[in-house]
A = this chain, B = another copy of it.
């Protein structure tokens, strides 16, 4: 598979993508270290998952040297957009505003972040 059309990573794949997004590129070992820090999992499991992700076209792989180097192909934003849209539909009756209310109401947000949101809100209101 070449290009990613269906951006639908599984739970475990998302964990790996998280690491790849934060690092730009990484080896299986590096990804695994991060995962193993918070989760009990074997090295070959991480390896296998990353191989599958490569087959699916979720990540690219440079295998010019023995230790392969992986990068995320699917972008964080695209994935966010897709999964968020899905959640809005299946859990918030299609209303992004409801989701926003729930997110702001239940989670701590800093002044700076609130201001950022305010700016976006101002822009949207003008349209």
Contacts and interface: CB of A to CB of B under 8 A. Distances in A.
Which secondary structure dominates chain A's binding surface? helix
Nearest to A14: B90
Copies of chain A in the complex: 2
A127 to B, nearest CB: 10
Contacts of A37: none
Which bracket fits the contact residues of A? 35 or more
A95 interface: yes
Given A101-B116, A125-B114, A87 B96 contact: no
Interface of A: 11, 14-15, 18, 22, 76-77, 79-81, 83-85, 87-88, 90-93, 95-97, 99-111, 113-114, 116-118, 120-121, 124-125
